[in-house]
Structure 1
Amino acid sequence: MALKKSQLYSSLWSSCDELRGGMDASQYKDYILTLLFMKYVSDKYANDPDALIEVPQGGSFDDMVALKGDKEIGDKINKIIGRLAEANELKGVIDQADFNDESKLGGGKEMQDRLSRLVAIFDGLDFRSNRAEGDDLLGDAYEYLMRNFATESGKSKGQFYTPAEVSRIMASIIGIGPQTMQKHTVYDPTCGSGSLLIKAADHAPKGISIYGQEMDNATWALARMNMFLHNHPMADLWRGNTLASPHFKDGDGGLKKFDFAVANPPFSAKSWTSGFDPANDQFGRFEYGIPPAKNGDYAFLLHLITSLRSKGKGAIILPHGVLFRGNKEADIRRKLIKRGLIRGIIGLPANLFYGTGIPACIIMIDKEDCQLRESIFMIDASKGFIKDGNKNRLREQDIHRIVDVFNRAAEIPRYSRMVPLDEIASEANDYNLNIPRYIDSSEPEDVHDLDAHLNGGIPNRDIDELSEYWDVFPTVRKALFKRNGRPGYSEPRLEPAQVKTAILEHPEFTEYADKVRSIFRKWHRKHRPMLMDLDAGAKPRDVISTLSEDLLERFKQLSLIDPYDMYQRLMDYWFDTMQDDIYLIAADGWKDAAQPRGIIDDKKRKIKETPDLTVKRKKYKMDLLPPDLLIERFFTVEKGILEDMQAEHETASRQLEEFIEENTVEEGPLEDATNDKGKVTKGGITARLKEIKEDPEAADERRALNKCKKLMNADSTAAKAVKDTRAQLDEKVLAKYPELTEDEIKTLAVEDKWFASIRRAVDSELDRLTQTLAGRVKELEQRYAEPLPDIFNQVATLTKKVDVHLDKMGVSVNG
């Protein structure tokens, strides 16, 4: 059976456990990624005469497997890797990690056992069975590992990786797309592990030529491996300091020009001038000014600009300081703005990047018609993210919203704005590009109305602020509020507890809910044939792109529900469940993907899965079709019987619990039947009955003990009945899987699982909408429910009552 993405990720990350302790993540990533590369190319290219990579005799992963338990395993692994490297001009790329380093891997038996276990983990991964073209399973696994390594490496060592979410935004806004050809070029002057270049290439289905330079040798090696794993073996990546010694030059000795460029340079580099004199730069990169000696942000920006063709487009990640810092940087910024080179700026959330916690921005450079540019488009996307461990992360909806808004230059209050250059150049702003100067992203203050607090009523101004709801539900407002006789104020018609029900039952809301469900049904009908026709070789990424983009567009036609929220619901389900399902189908076909598999519970490797079924002490996992789906469709009678038995067991357990609780109080009849933990047991009851025998003075206790024993037996009998019935049903379900036809499997997966889950997500969005409106209405009602004079009167009344009681007690209120 093919690997699931989640299964692959779990196995790979567990392999890191073998190396933790001896070195930090910035070091052990080299070992893990080298083994991943060796395993992948051995599975994919061994014995293939037309392969991109030659797997020589004695240079494959299988040769490593043969070393398990070998006393010289470390040295021999190095030699195996060396043979593969030498055969493919990969010296200095895949042989960075020393597998015979005792300071990191331990000596003697410790190294032998550690490397044997590590090789065994990778040996358990079979990449030959993943046949889906374009599924990029290994590329995604590499991305997963890089993200986790960056997280564990910390601020000082995590700069080799740009979050994929940011990379996708940059690739989407610089113009790479279906029209891009292999002859077009994309360049990253500080390419790190290559993630920005790879995401850019993902947007070019017809291909694009990749160029990059990276100063750190180990990170450059990661980038080379990354390109192979993402099927870009011809990427031209070089080592070296881009500012001091740029590798890519034209025939005249100037910088080579590219169609597109992306970059995430080190923030505020202190020694950027090392190795060259910017004042005498042979490449003419600093015609707009020389950046400060202790801050290289603008040096990288100017290098990127110089490296673009006359119509070239690029995007670079820089700290927010470049937008507003003064002196030399202000002079450079002014000249760039006047030349019209900056097309847009996107402000990102803080704490996204692994090398720093400070907020950053994307500056989009566009040379095409720059002399005609009269404005800069700005987005403040700083509030759209989710917490992910100790970092923030952009959600799918955040990425899509940023890209859509930027590419359409859509102006949205508190989010985006096209800012005229005249405004930027004004005396008040003086070419300062700090986004809050132009976009106020703060939420409007919820102002209390003093008159309403004094005299009652709900301000119409507050009710009017819910106009987006009243535009869709005009008479719902009338159902919730009425005039109170004072101009500008209303009264609630209902108690707060009745508000949500009134909204849900109102004809305008039910009509709206029908529209929402109708959109889902039409989307369902359109895409059902595609999902039912999936087969081995399907492209999962194309599937989710088709589904999600169409869902987003359909919900854009509807008011109130944010279409990006609905898009996120689908994407969450995709990443949680549906992705794995379709990868299995793409690799194995429907019939094989639906079959149960036994579960390995390997405590040493910390791989453990919750079982779907347990039959005769063997655990099974049903990835594509959970047992509940089969039970709901084929075993409803048995399910009903089991539920009745479970209800009987719950009743018996509750009766036993209540009886014990009532009779184990101090000097209660069950007190002497408890153990040292205060729990009544059958053994305690039996012992106590023997002790009191037929003592007439213990008649009540004997009756209680016998009744408790009877209740325990009833509970035990009911529990056994549930267990036996559950086991019988499990047997029937397990036997049903091989009998399922392909059409039945498709119906169970597509209708009962995927569409049913997405339908529930749609209903959840409807419920959230209702809850938001009802919550705000109830908040307003409760805020002004008691005018201040009424509160004073209540206080005065209560004070008088207290005074009367104190007087009766002989306590003087005044003294």
Structure 2
Amino acid sequence: MALKKSDLYSSLWAGADELRGGMDASQYKDYVLTLLFVKYVSDKAKADPYASIEVPEGGSFDDLVDLKGKPDIGEKINIAIRKLANANDLQGVINNADFDDPDKLGRGKELVDRLTKLVGIFQDLDFSGSRAEGDDLLGDAYEYLMRHFATESGKSKGQFYTPAEVSRVMAALLQIPRDTPRSTTVYDPTCGSGSLLLKVADAAPNNLTIYGQEKDNATRALAVMNMILHGNATAEIRQGDALTDPQFIRNDELRTFDFLIANPPFSVKSWTSGLENEYGRFAGYGRPPEKNGDYAFLLHMIKSLKSTGRGAVILPHGVLFRGNVEATIRKTLIKKGYIKGIIGLPANLFYGTGIPACIIVLDKHDAQARTGIFMIDASKGFAKDGPKNRLRPRDMHQIIDAFVNQKEIERYSRMVPLSEIADSKNDYNLNIPRYIDSSEPEDIQDLSAHIKGGVPNRDLDALQPYWEAFPSLRAGLFKPLREGYSELVVERAEIHSTINGSPEYEAFALTTTDTVKHWWNISRQLLEGITATTRPADLIYELGETLLDAFRKRPLIVEYGVYEQLMSYWNDVMHDDVALIMAEGWGNAAKPRPTIENKERKLNETPDLVIGSGRSAKKYKMDLVPPSLIVARYFATEQEVVDELNALAEQAGQALEEFIEENSGEEGLLADAMDDKISKALASARLKVAKYEDPKSDEVKALQELIRLYNAEAEAKKATKEAQAELDRKTLAQYAKLSTEDIQSLVIDDKWGARFVRGAQAELDVLIRKLVDRLTVLADRYAETLGDLDAEVEKFGAKVAEHLKAMGISL
């Protein structure tokens, strides 16, 4: 069976669970990632005798398995990993974690048991089919671990990882041409675990030549392992501080690169400590302030770019507007034309800090001819994800689309002329709110409407995209009241049903569905062609871009919302499906398999289908084609029968409950039978006694009816169970009858395609809900005029006066 992403993740996190008690995340990540590395390279060496990593005798994962349960397991694991490190010049990279450390792993039996379980968790994973590509399952798993380790490490120790979403955006902003040769270089002077570098390399069809530098040795080790796991074993990752000890020097000058990517630590206060050679980085700009290293890193990157190089760097917003020497540096950079764009990001995206940051896009090519800086305020596009915020696929694609196509979008993006940046009002201040007002327009209260009634046409005009999509709807909801104001002609509670019941809405919903179906039919050949050589990243890119194109021409629905539906389903389900088809082919991927029950890996699958009962029951998992799809297509009539029997069983159960409820209690006919929780056995026992006491009593009749109801419920449940069992047997048998064409139709049409139709409808439902909510707010706001309120006050005042008069009080 092909390894599923979700199963792999659960296994890896189970490994972390084994260690969590003894150390924090910044420490136990070294153990888990080291074992992941050893397992991966061992499996690859088995499958490929020419694998880039040599696995020596005594240094494989199989050797670690042989140590399970042995009293010297910790010491021997260290020796095995050291052999692997020595054979591949990876000393100080994969042998940093001490597997014989009693302070972290426990002593004696505790250490043996913990390491035995840890090795067992990785033992059943199989990476022999892993393909060392950017969309590789293992690469995703490594990233998954890095993200969770960064989350749990906290602010002080989580800076080794840049969120994957931000990395992908930055890689796309570099706009690497598709024909770029592999010899083209990319450099990250603060590379952390290497995620940014890998995302940039993945964005180039021919890959790139990777160079990175990282100050922390343990983090540099993570980056080296990350490169190897992603098939970039030749990447040069060196240790050292990029400012005080730059590692890439040529003829006593900084080496320059074609592309540059970086997420340096924010506002480092001790950046000058140990600085002996400036390498001309500050010449012509001015020396950055002693207590803030943001511009020191930025100027290092400028100096490290070739004359036609491009780069993207994450920095705190302060670099855009701080004064004094930083203002002078910023002014010089702007005048040189090196800054091509600025993207303001949401707050709380990064693990090292919660403050908002920005991406500065650098471009030296034709810099002197640059006449403006393209700015994007993307600060409001994100989703909450635990303690952090996260860019959604829709947010990512909107940033990329706007920047690459230089699209000016109201309250979001615009090309800001250098003349505007340089004028006396702005004086080279790049703070984004100076140039883009992303705030929502104020919801103005209309005094005339409050006094005289009616909904201001100005507020209705603001909903123009809806009226364009449904040309007659406005007239169906409102009629003119007086100049500039309209009156709602339906009850407020009927707004939603009026919209959904309009012919225009129904037609719009139908054409939306047709748009999805047309796009899906066009994509069908691409999907039917999934084979072992398919690149999942290319597949989802093609699907995403064609979906965006299909909806860009549609009114009202924002194409990025539908795109979000696609990407969410891809991440949750479809990626696993595609990987399964690639590994096993359509036919084998659709075959039922026994469920996995593995206590050591803490993996117990919930079966999709159970045949039989008790110990002899056979439990099956259907990874690609769930039983519901088989039933819906082949056994709809049988399912209707089961549903009817279920309904009858529920009715029988309800009748039983109602009878017990009506006849229980201290004075009820079943009072004597209710000393304990009522059951058929107790009722039968009590019936024998009651018949002896008085065979014609009402209690006897009640007990007889109760037993009849118990029997009716049991018979109904039995019939339902038998019908369901027969349907399950037919469903299981149907899998063996499926042709490749049947499987493709079930998956592509009934599973994937139907989900996207529902997703598009969900986006439309959200938009309609927003319209209904807005119209309801406006209708409520102006429902009562000032005259109505005065009349109500007068009415209640008269009532108060009457009550006071009745009490003998005169006003």
Q: How does 1:486-565 map to 2 (within 5 A)?
A: 486-565=482-561
1:103-155 CA distance string (max 9 Å, x none): 11112111111111111111110112456976411111111110111011111
Q: What root-mean-square deviation, in Å, do the aligned CA atoms of Structure 1 and Structure 2 show? A: 2.2
1:248-293 CA distance string (max 9 Å, x none): 012x21000111111111111121111114xx62444453111221
Distance 1:285 1:327 in 2: 15
Q: How does 1:691-730 map to 2 (within 5 A)?
A: 692-693=690-691, 695=693, 699-730=697-728
User: Does structure 2 retain, via aligned residues, the 8 Å contact 1:524–1:755?
Assistant: yes
Please state whether the residue corresponding to 2:180 is helix, strand or coil.
coil
Distance 1:404 1:724 in 2: 56
Please state whether the residue corresponding to 2:620 is helix, strand or coil.
strand
User: Does structure 2 retain, via aligned residues, the 8 Å contact 1:132–1:586?
Assistant: no
Distance 1:798 1:623 in 2: 68
TM-score by length of 2: 0.95
Q: Give the aligned residue type for 2:706.
A: C
Q: 1:585 aligned to 581, 584, 589, which one?
A: 581
Provide closer, same or farther for how the CA distance between residues 812 and 58 of structure 1 changes in structure 2, counting only shifts above 3 A.
farther
Structure 1 position 692, deviation (Å): 4.3
Which residue of 2 is the match for residue 381 of structure 1? 378
For this pair of structures, how many residues does the alignment match? 807
Which residue of 1 is the match for residue 111 of structure 2? 111
* Residue segments in structure 2 that go unaligned for 5+ positions in a row: none
User: Does structure 1 retain, via aligned residues, the 8 Å contact 2:46–2:128?
Assistant: no
Which residue of 1 is the match for residue 417 of structure 2? 420
User: Does structure 2 retain, via aligned residues, the 8 Å contact 1:348–1:359?
Assistant: yes
Please state whether the residue corresponding to 1:584 is helix, strand or coil.
helix
Matched, 1:327 2:312: no
User: Does structure 2 retain, via aligned residues, the 8 Å contact 1:459–1:489?
Assistant: yes
Q: 2:781 aligned to 783, 786, 791, which one?
A: 783
Structure 1 position 607, deviation (Å): 2.6
Please state whether the residue corresponding to 2:374 is helix, strand or coil.
strand
Provide closer, same or farther for how the CA distance between residues 644 and 802 of structure 1 changes in structure 2, counting only shifts above 3 A.
farther
User: Does structure 2 retain, via aligned residues, the 8 Å contact 1:131–1:587?
Assistant: no
Which residue of 1 is the match for residue 258 of structure 2? 259
Which residue of 1 is the match for residue 275 of structure 2? 276
Distance 2:329 2:583 in 1: 54
Q: Give the aligned residue type for 1:634.
A: Y
Please state whether the residue corresponding to 1:474 is helix, strand or coil.
coil
Provide closer, same or farther for how the CA distance between residues 180 and 129 of structure 1 changes in structure 2, counting only shifts above 3 A.
closer
Distance 1:762 1:22 in 2: 48
User: Does structure 2 retain, via aligned residues, the 8 Å contact 1:2–1:130?
Assistant: no
User: Does structure 1 retain, via aligned residues, the 8 Å contact 2:117–2:600?
Assistant: no
Which residue of 2 is the match for residue 741 of structure 1? 739
Moved more, 724-733 or 634-643: 724-733
Which residue of 2 is the match for residue 648 of structure 1? 648
Provide closer, same or farther for how the CA distance between residues 805 and 105 of structure 1 changes in structure 2, counting only shifts above 3 A.
same
Distance 1:813 1:665 in 2: 54
Which residue of 1 is the match for residue 20 of structure 2? 20
Distance 1:732 1:805 in 2: 78
User: Does structure 2 retain, via aligned residues, the 8 Å contact 1:642–1:726?
Assistant: yes
Provide closer, same or farther for how the CA distance between residues 748 and 149 of structure 1 changes in structure 2, counting only shifts above 3 A.
same
Please state whether the residue corresponding to 1:14 is helix, strand or coil.
helix
Q: How does 1:565-584 map to 2 (within 5 A)?
A: 565-584=561-580
Structure 1 position 812, deviation (Å): 4.7
Please state whether the residue corresponding to 2:697 is helix, strand or coil.
helix
Structure 1 position 646, deviation (Å): 0.4
Q: How does 1:344-423 map to 2 (within 5 A)?
A: 344-423=341-420
Moved more, 413-422 or 656-665: 656-665
Please state whether the residue corresponding to 1:242 is helix, strand or coil.
coil
Distance 2:484 2:31 in 1: 71
User: Does structure 1 retain, via aligned residues, the 8 Å contact 2:608–2:619?
Assistant: yes
Which residue of 2 is the match for residue 670 of structure 1? 670
Please state whether the residue corresponding to 1:128 is helix, strand or coil.
coil
Structure 1 position 688, deviation (Å): 4.4
Distance 1:686 1:600 in 2: 44
Q: Give the aligned residue type for 1:197.
A: L
Structure 1 position 695, deviation (Å): 4.8
Please state whether the residue corresponding to 2:409 is helix, strand or coil.
coil
Provide closer, same or farther for how the CA distance between residues 29 and 417 of structure 1 changes in structure 2, counting only shifts above 3 A.
same
Structure 1 position 683, deviation (Å): 4.5
Distance 1:505 1:26 in 2: 57
Q: How does 1:16-415 map to 2 (within 5 A)?
A: 16-46=16-46, 48-130=48-130, 135-250=135-250, 252-277=251-276, 281-415=278-412
1:525-572 CA distance string (max 9 Å, x none): 211122123233322222211111100111011111000001001111
Please state whether the residue corresponding to 1:344 is helix, strand or coil.
strand
User: Does structure 1 retain, via aligned residues, the 8 Å contact 2:669–2:698?
Assistant: yes
Distance 2:16 2:67 in 1: 20
Q: Give the aligned residue type for 1:583.
A: A
Please state whether the residue corresponding to 1:303 is helix, strand or coil.
helix
Structure 1 position 589, deviation (Å): 0.5
Structure 1 position 197, deviation (Å): 0.4
Q: 2:448 aligned to 448, 451, 454, which one?
A: 451
Structure 1 position 469, deviation (Å): 1.6
Provide closer, same or farther for how the CA distance between residues 157 and 460 of structure 1 changes in structure 2, counting only shifts above 3 A.
same
* Residue segments in structure 1 that go unaligned for 5+ positions in a row: none
Distance 1:217 1:132 in 2: 24
Moved more, 305-314 or 718-727: 718-727
Distance 1:291 1:813 in 2: 81
Structure 1 position 493, deviation (Å): 2.0
Distance 2:666 2:440 in 1: 59
Q: Give the aligned residue type for 1:227.
A: M
Q: How does 1:729-768 map to 2 (within 5 A)?
A: 729-768=727-766
Q: Give the aligned residue type for 2:554.
A: L
Provide closer, same or farther for how the CA distance between residues 786 and 66 of structure 1 changes in structure 2, counting only shifts above 3 A.
same
Structure 1 position 401, deviation (Å): 0.5
Provide closer, same or farther for how the CA distance between residues 640 and 513 of structure 1 changes in structure 2, counting only shifts above 3 A.
closer
Q: Give the aligned residue type for 1:330.
A: A
Moved more, 771-780 or 241-250: 771-780
Structure 1 position 425, deviation (Å): 2.1
Which residue of 2 is the match for residue 624 of structure 1? 624
Distance 1:800 1:650 in 2: 57
Structure 1 position 86, deviation (Å): 1.1
Moved more, 79-88 or 605-614: 605-614
Please state whether the residue corresponding to 1:346 is helix, strand or coil.
strand
Distance 2:504 2:374 in 1: 39
